[in-house]
Amino acid sequence: MTGDDKRRPYAAQDQFALERDFRGNPLMAAVKLARYKFPARLIAPEDRVLDLGCGNGYGAYFYATVAREVVGLDLHADLDGAAHRGLARENLALVKGDILDPPLEVVDATFDVIVAIDVIEHFYRDDGARIVADYAARLSERGMMILGTPNRGSGAYRSEASRRVHMYEYEPDELRSLCGRHFKRALLFSMNDEVVHTGFAKMAWFFYVLAFK
């Protein structure tokens, strides 16, 4: 799919909702929470964090428990719902805005950590490359970007509903190579269920790339 005329427009995604998802599939709900836990372990208390594709705010809230400040950005950010669910903190702000055309709160800011979990696969390949490049420029000198995404190799085992909203899925080395264009170092971690490891990435259901300025 290369021509603009073949591209489907980006639309709101069915965001992770702990109460609903835990009742429907508690095992998968635990796995999704673990995807936030790994980045949270890497955030320092003095960090200013940007959570791309924050959605319902669960990941941003997770990071806000360990960071100095967190800004969550999503075109469909559920601001009222987050407050209703008790996901409000003085150091957490959720902002409605387009990741590809961010508002001034993001454009004029610098962040120490930028996190995008279950986000980049919802964009076409060229826009994914643009996200990595644009947000690398918004990191501080000691900045780190954390990208987490499903492995393309596991796509055949995902639901049709999941595949339908994934515009472009990456192989692990492919995403690491993309990050290597804009960062001095990019490290790859595999994830199977809640376990994060450095094992054979092609067998991972999900993976992370940690990219450093």
In CATH, what number does 31-212 get?
A: 3.40.50.150
Q: Which helix (H) or strand (E) is 84 found in, with range?
A: helix 79-84
Mean pLDDT (whole number) for 9-26: 81
- What value does the mean pLDDT take over residues 121-144? 96
Q: Where are the domains of the chain?
A: 31-212
Q: pTM of the entire structure?
A: 0.91
Nearest Cα to Cα of residue 154 among 201, 113, 195: 201
Per residue in 76-91, pLDDT tens? Answer: 877 777 666 777 899 9
- Which pLDDT does position 20 carry in this prediction? 85
Please say if the pLDDT value at position 147 is more than 90: yes
Answer for the pair 53, 116: CB distance below 8 angstroms, yes or no.
yes
pLDDT digits (tens, 9 = 90+) for 159-208: 666 777 899 999 999 999 999 999 999 999 999 999 999 999 888 999 99
pLDDT over threshold 80, residue 31: yes
With a cut of 90, say whether residue 4 has pLDDT above it.
no
**Whole-number pLDDT of residue 16:** 80
Retrieve residue 166's tokens.
């994934």
